Amino acid sequence: MTPSNHHNSRFLQLFPIVGWIKFYTREEFYSDLFAGIITAILLVPQGIAYAILAGLPPQLGLYSSILPPMLYALFGTSRTLSVGPVSIAAIMIASALSAPEISILGNPVQSALILSAESGIVMLLMALLRMGGLVNFISHPVLTGFTSGAALLIIASQLPQLFGLKTPSCGFDAACYSHYFSGLVPATLSIGLSSLGVLVFFSGPLIHTLKKIGLQPSLITAISKCAPLLTIILATLAVDYYDLAGQQHVAIVGQVPPGFPLLNMDFIAVEKWQLLLPYSGFIALIAYVESVAIAKVTANLRGEKIAPNQELVALGAANLAAAVSGGMPVAGGFSRTMVNFAAGARTQMAMLIAAGLLALAVIFFSPWFENIPKAALAAIILIAIIPLVKLNNIPITWRYDRGDGIAEISTLLGVLVYGIEEGITLGIILTLISHLRKTSQPHIAVVGRIPGTEHYRNIKRHSVETWPNLLLLRVDESITFANINYIEEFIEAELRQQPDITHIVLIFTSISDIDTTALEVLENLNHSLQAAKMTLHISEAKGPVLDKLEKTNFISQLKPGKVFFHTEDAVRELSENSSLT
Amino acid sequence: MTPSNHHNSRFLQLFPIVGWIKFYTREEFYSDLFAGIITAILLVPQGIAYAILAGLPPQLGLYSSILPPMLYALFGTSRTLSVGPVSIAAIMIASALSAPEISILGNPVQSALILSAESGIVMLLMALLRMGGLVNFISHPVLTGFTSGAALLIIASQLPQLFGLKTPSCGFDAACYSHYFSGLVPATLSIGLSSLGVLVFFSGPLIHTLKKIGLQPSLITAISKCAPLLTIILATLAVDYYDLAGQQHVAIVGQVPPGFPLLNMDFIAVEKWQLLLPYSGFIALIAYVESVAIAKVTANLRGEKIAPNQELVALGAANLAAAVSGGMPVAGGFSRTMVNFAAGARTQMAMLIAAGLLALAVIFFSPWFENIPKAALAAIILIAIIPLVKLNNIPITWRYDRGDGIAEISTLLGVLVYGIEEGITLGIILTLISHLRKTSQPHIAVVGRIPGTEHYRNIKRHSVETWPNLLLLRVDESITFANINYIEEFIEAELRQQPDITHIVLIFTSISDIDTTALEVLENLNHSLQAAKMTLHISEAKGPVLDKLEKTNFISQLKPGKVFFHTEDAVRELSENSSLT
> Which stretches of B479-553 are DSSP H helices?
484-497, 516-531, 543-550
Residue B317 has pLDDT above 70, yes or no: yes
Which residue of A438, A478, A551 is in closest CB contact with B480?
A: A438
Contact B438 A480 (CB under 8 A): yes
Indicate which CATH number applies to the domain containing B523.
Answer: 3.30.750.24
Choice among A21-30, A251-260, B147-156 with the minimum mean pLDDT? A251-260
What is the sign, positive or negative, of the torsion defined by CA atoms of A59, A60, A64, A66?
Answer: positive
Work out the number of other CB atoms within 10 angstroms of the CB of residue A133. Answer: 19
Q: Which residue of A has its CA nearest to B546?
A: A400
Which residue of A435, A515, A520 is in closest CB contact with B482?
A: A435
Q: What residues in B contact A527, CB-CB < 8 Å?
A: 300
For residues A217 and A30, give the distance between their C-alpha atoms in angstroms, rounded to a whole number. 16
Helix/strand/coil (H/E/C) assignment for every residue in A438-499? HHCCCCEEEEEECCCCCCEEECCCCCCEEECCEEEEEECCCECCCCHHHHHHHHHHHHHHCC
Work out the number of other CB atoms within 10 angstroms of the CB of residue B431. Answer: 27
Query: What pLDDT is stored for residue A310 in this prediction?
Result: 92
For residues B510 and B504, give the distance between their C-alpha atoms in angstroms, rounded to a whole number. 17
Can you state the percent helix, strand and coil of chain A, rounding each to 5? Answer: 65, 5, 30
Q: What residues in A contact B519, CB-CB < 8 Å?
A: 400
Nearest by Cα to B268 from B330, B329, B320, B331: B320
Query: How far is CA A467 from its chain centroid?
Result: 53
Q: What residues in A contact B303, CB-CB < 8 Å?
A: 528, 531-532
Q: Are B464 and B450 in contact (CB under 8 A)?
A: yes
Q: Are A500 and A469 in contact (CB under 8 A)?
A: yes
Q: How many CA atoms lie within 13 A of A431 on its CB side?
A: 31
Q: Does residue A468 share a domain with residue A376?
A: no
Q: What residues in A contact B400, CB-CB < 8 Å?
A: 516, 519, 548, 551-552
Nearest by Cα to B449 from B574, B573, B567, B577: B567
Query: What pLDDT is stored for residue A260 in this prediction?
Result: 78
Contact B548 A401 (CB under 8 A): yes
Task: Please say which residue of B413, B434, B455 terminates a domain.
Answer: B434
For residues A230 and A237, give the distance between their C-alpha atoms in angstroms, rounded to a whole number. 11
* Phi, psi of B499, deg, nearest 5: -70, -10
Residue with more model confidence, B107 or A579: B107
Q: What residues in A contact B137, CB-CB < 8 Å?
A: 436
For residues A226 and A210, give the distance between their C-alpha atoms in angstroms, rounded to a whole number. 14
Gyration radius from chain A CA atoms: 31
Most confident of A291-305, A335-349, B81-95, B510-524: B81-95
Q: Are A285 and A137 in contact (CB under 8 A)?
A: yes
Contact B432 A436 (CB under 8 A): yes
Q: Chain A: give the shortest CA distance to residue B179, in Å.
A: 31
For residues B401 and B434, give the distance between their C-alpha atoms in angstroms, rounded to a whole number. 12
Q: What residues in A contact B439, CB-CB < 8 Å?
A: 435, 439, 482
Residue B167 has pLDDT above 70, yes or no: no
Most confident of A156-165, A301-310, A482-491, B167-176: A482-491
The residues near A452 (Cβ < 8 Å, ≥ 6 apart) are none
Residue B265 has pLDDT above 80, yes or no: no
Which of B517, B529, B552 to probe by mutation at the A interface, max A CB count within 10 Å? B517
Q: Which residue of A has its CA nearest to B445?
A: A510
Residue with more model confidence, A538 or A173: A538
Each residue's pLDDT tens digit, B268-289: 656 788 889 889 999 999 999 8
Q: Does residue A481 share a domain with residue A337?
A: no
Q: What residues in B contact A476, CB-CB < 8 Å?
A: 476, 510
Residue type, B233: I
Rounded to two decimals, the ipTM of the complex is 0.74
Identify the three-state secondary structure at position A15: coil
Residue B139 has pLDDT above 70, yes or no: yes
Q: Chain B: give the shortest CA distance to residue A401, in Å.
A: 7
Please provide the average confidence, as pLDDT, over all residues in chain A.
Answer: 85
H/E segment holding residue A392: none
Task: Please say which residue of B379, B412, B434 terminates a domain.
Answer: B434
Q: Does residue A188 share a domain with residue A259?
A: yes
Contact B510 A480 (CB under 8 A): no
Q: Does residue A455 share a domain with residue A428?
A: no
Q: Chain A: give the shortest CA distance to residue B487, in Å.
A: 12
Contact B136 A482 (CB under 8 A): yes
Residue A14: inside a domain: no
Mean pLDDT, residues A440-456: 86
Please provide the average confidence, as pLDDT, over all residues in chain B.
Answer: 85
Cis status of the peptide bond prior to A278, with omega within 30 of 0: no
Range of the domain at A532: 444-580
For residues B56 and B79, give the distance between their C-alpha atoms in angstroms, rounded to a whole number. 30
H/E segment holding residue A128: helix A108-128
What is the sign, positive or negative, of the torsion defined by CA atoms of B289, B293, B299, B305?
Answer: positive
Which pLDDT band, with edges at 50, 70 and 90, does A113 fall under?
very high
> Which stretches of B325-392 are DSSP H helices?
334-342, 349-369, 374-385
Q: Chain B: give the shortest CA distance to residue A516, in Å.
A: 7
Choice among A267-276, A572-581, B142-151, B335-344 with the minimum mean pLDDT? A572-581
Residue B541, Cβ density class (10 Å: 0-12 exposed, 13-18 middle, ≥19 buried):
buried
Which residue of A397, A438, A516 is in closest CB contact with B478?
A: A438
pTM: 0.72
Work out the number of other CB atoms within 10 angstroms of the CB of residue B30. Answer: 12
Residue B12: inside a domain: no
Contact A510 B476 (CB under 8 A): yes
For residues A246 and B527, give the distance between their C-alpha atoms in angstroms, rounded to a whole number. 56
Q: Does residue B480 share a domain with residue B420?
A: no
Query: What pLDDT is stored for residue B125 in this prediction?
Result: 92
Residue A131: inside a domain: yes
Q: What residues in A contact B481, CB-CB < 8 Å?
A: 136, 139-140, 431, 435
Contact A399 B516 (CB under 8 A): no
Q: How many CA atoms lie within 13 A of B202 on its CB side?
A: 21
Which residue of B136, B404, B520 is in closest CB contact with A436?
A: B136
Residue A6: inside a domain: no
For residues A69 and A111, give the distance between their C-alpha atoms in angstroms, rounded to a whole number. 21
For residues A50 and A60, give the distance between their C-alpha atoms in angstroms, rounded to a whole number. 9
Residue B397: inside a domain: yes
Which pLDDT band, with edges at 50, 70 and 90, does A83 fall under?
very high
The one-character DSSP state at A80 is: S
Q: Does residue A407 share a domain with residue A274?
A: yes
Residue with more model confidence, A54 or B252: A54
Q: What residues in A contact B436, CB-CB < 8 Å?
A: 136-137, 432, 435
Contact B439 A443 (CB under 8 A): no
Q: Does residue B491 share a domain with residue B397?
A: no
Residue A9: inside a domain: no
Q: Are A296 and A302 in contact (CB under 8 A)?
A: no
For residues B73 and A375, give the distance between their C-alpha atoms in angstroms, rounded to a whole number. 67
For residues B506 and B538, give the distance between their C-alpha atoms in angstroms, rounded to a whole number. 5
Q: Chain A: give the shortest CA distance to residue B398, in Å.
A: 10
Which pLDDT band, with edges at 50, 70 and 90, does A472 fall under?
very high
Contact A481 B139 (CB under 8 A): yes
Query: What pLDDT is stored for residue A300 in this prediction?
Result: 76
Contact A436 B440 (CB under 8 A): no
Query: What pLDDT is stored for residue A182 in this prediction?
Result: 62
Distances (CA, A) of B443 to A172, A187, A472, B107, B297: 53, 64, 22, 57, 34
Which of B136, B402, B520, B566 to probe by mutation at the A interface, max A CB count within 10 Å? B136
Q: Does residue B558 share a domain with residue B475?
A: yes
Which pLDDT band, with edges at 50, 70 and 90, does B168 fall under?
very low
Each residue's pLDDT tens digit, A4-57: 455 567 777 788 888 888 889 888 898 899 889 988 988 888 899 999 999 999
What is the sign, positive or negative, of the torsion defined by CA atoms of B67, B71, B77, B79?
Answer: positive
Beta strands A465-466 and A579-580, pairing class: antiparallel
The residues near B391 (Cβ < 8 Å, ≥ 6 apart) are B148
DSSP A293-308: HHHHHHHHHHT----H
Contact B436 A440 (CB under 8 A): no
Contact A480 B516 (CB under 8 A): no
DSSP B168-220: ---TT-HHHHHHHHHT--HHHHHHHHHHHHHHHHHHTHHHHHHHHTT--HHHH
Query: How far is CA A272 from its chain centroid?
Result: 25
Each residue's pLDDT tens digit, B284-310: 999 998 898 888 888 877 878 888 889
Q: Are A160 and A192 in contact (CB under 8 A)?
A: no
Q: Which residue of A has its CA nearest to B526?
A: A300
Percent of chain B residues topping a pLDDT of 70: 92
Q: What residues in B contact A300, CB-CB < 8 Å?
A: 524, 527-528
Q: Are B340 and B39 in contact (CB under 8 A)?
A: yes
Residue with more model confidence, B159 or B122: B122
Each residue's pLDDT tens digit, A172-219: 555 655 665 666 777 888 888 899 998 888 888 888 888 888 888 778
Query: What pLDDT is stored for residue A62 in this prediction?
Result: 93
Q: What residues in B contact A528, CB-CB < 8 Å?
A: 300, 303
Beta bridge partners of B331: B84
Q: Chain A: give the shortest CA distance to residue B535, in Å.
A: 16
Q: How many CA atoms lie within 13 A of A369 on its CB side?
A: 27
Task: Please say which residue of B376, B405, B434 terminates a domain.
Answer: B434
How many separate domains does chain B show?
Answer: 2
Q: Does residue A130 share a domain with residue A215?
A: yes
For residues A482 and B320, give the distance between their C-alpha atoms in angstroms, rounded to a whole number. 29
Q: Does residue A129 share a domain with residue A48?
A: yes
Contact B478 A136 (CB under 8 A): no
Query: What pLDDT is stored for residue B75 in this prediction?
Result: 94
Residue B214: inside a domain: yes
Query: What pLDDT is stored for residue B535 in this prediction?
Result: 95
Gyration radius from chain B CA atoms: 31
Q: Chain B: give the shortest CA distance to residue A389, in Å.
A: 18
Q: How many CB pairs under 8 A join A and B?
A: 125
Identify the three-state secondary structure at position A538: strand
Residue B4: inside a domain: no
Q: Does residue B175 share a domain with residue B36?
A: yes
Q: Does residue B328 share a domain with residue B300?
A: yes
Q: Which residue of B has its CA nearest to A439?
A: B439
Which residue of A400, A435, A516 is in closest CB contact with B552?
A: A400
Which of B516, B521, B524, B540 to probe by mutation at the A interface, max A CB count within 10 Å? B516
Work out the number of other CB atoms within 10 angstroms of the CB of residue A167. Answer: 13
Which pLDDT band, with edges at 50, 70 and 90, does A2 fall under?
very low
Which residue of A483, A516, A531 is in closest CB contact with B400?
A: A516
